[in-house]
Amino acid sequence: MREHKPRLTARRILTLLPLAALLSACDRAVLNPAGDVALQQRDIIYISTALMLLIIVPVLILIVVFAWRYRQSNKDATYDPHFDHSTALELVIWSAPLLIIICLGALTWWSTHLLDPFRPLNRVSAEKAIDPKAKPLVVQVVSLDWKWLFIYPEQGIATVNELALPVDRQVRFELTSTNMMNTFYAPTLAGMIYTMPGMRSTLHAVINRPGAYEGMSANYSGAGFSDMRFKLYGVDQGGFDAWVGRVKASGPALDTNRYLELEKPSERVPAMYFSGVEGDLFDRIFNRCVRPGTPCMRDVMQHDQRRGGGNPHDPHAGAGMPAGRAAPPPAGHKPEGHIFKKGEEKGTGPSTFEPPEAKKTPDMSHNSDPAAPGAPRASAA
């Protein structure tokens, strides 16, 4: 009976095409980024992979070597049934992985601080430092169901599912959400960052190469999640100014009523343009008070603070945030890690450590009786 061997038919090849397209897209975006932040993140992937291969490759090779050398038919191989320990072998087995783990830990710790999304950039690219006088472009991002709203407060425009950025200019994204948690992800620009209702996140990034790219939501958020994508265009400054001019000349202004219509769930939304936008719209979205008559989260917290702000010593304390914790830190002003500060920036301060000789043992000679103060002492027998 002839054995039937499976063959790659045209139908099976067509089934594999989406997977090939997905892998090619991953290569274009993640492994060939157009932004410096994403480029540094790609380098971390390369370095981490290389460090792990230092263990994986020798182990795979040794599996084959040991299987061949100590096969049953090889009478020249040493056979020692009483072998149970080798100090030299233990040192090799444990020291090499330990060194790699130390290197990976140091790389992770350093990159976590260096690529902190709240931290302003210190360079435009590997060859170009950031201009300290250059003002970053501010883009306010709102994740809706299931689309992305981009507000350009300085330009006074807004778009849906289309984002244009000038090349080699630092961008500061301020991000929030309307209904549920999402993840803003432009693989060619920077890493993923969450957007959450009532919270504001910050992301600093830069794009270094003109082109058309794609962004998406990387956190499942319901029925329209798969099509919650946006176009990202990298253009020169002249192209960006022309794009802003086209947006200003097309579409209505984004006011409260239009935003409330836009906020309703919808899928596969094409790019939309708004020639104007209310100045405080993003702040009201963040404080969850766009709809007229709705109290803003900020005002509710301030009201609770005036009533005590969660102070345990105040019986009339409200249920708001503790005093001094009601407002988020200003965008782009997250405290910088001590390691990245220069010597003169670190400063000095008084030591809070009390020398041992300054500590005194409490005098218990006048109250050696364990009875409570004011209670009569037991008379001696």
pTM over 0.75: no
Q: Helices 36-69 and 87-114 sit at what angle, rounded to 10 degrees?
A: 170
Query: Is position 333 within any domain?
Result: no
Of 273, 279, 276, 281, the C-alpha closest to 256 is 281
Q: In this structure, what token pair is assigned to residue 91?
A: 């040192």
Q: Which residues contact 140 (CB under 8 A, 6 or more apart)?
A: 150, 151, 152, 153, 173, 174, 175, 282
Ramachandran region, residue 182 (left: φ > 0; alpha: ψ -120 to 50; beta: rest): beta
Query: Is position 27 within any domain?
Result: no
Query: Is position 35 within any domain?
Result: no
Query: Is position 46 within any domain?
Result: no
The total number of structural domains that make up the chain: 1
| pLDDT score, position 354 | 52
| pLDDT score, position 324 | 45
Query: Is position 322 within any domain?
Result: no
Here the CATH number for the domain that contains residue 247 is 2.60.40.420
Query: Is position 273 within any domain?
Result: yes
| pLDDT score, position 50 | 94
| pLDDT score, position 337 | 53
Of 123, 126, 116, 120, the C-alpha closest to 138 is 120
| Helix, strand, or coil (residue 287) | coil
Q: Which domain holds residue 277?
A: 137-297
- Cα angle for residues 209, 218, 183 (degrees, 5° grid): 85
The residues of the chain scoring below 50 in pLDDT are 1-6, 8, 13, 16, 18-25, 315-318, 321-327, 352-353, 358-359, 365-381
H-helix or E-strand spanning residue 197: none
Query: Is position 113 within any domain?
Result: no
State how far the Cα of 151 lies from the Cα of 158, in Å rounded to an integer.
Answer: 4
Query: Is position 376 within any domain?
Result: no
- Cα angle for residues 177, 178, 183 (degrees, 5° grid): 30
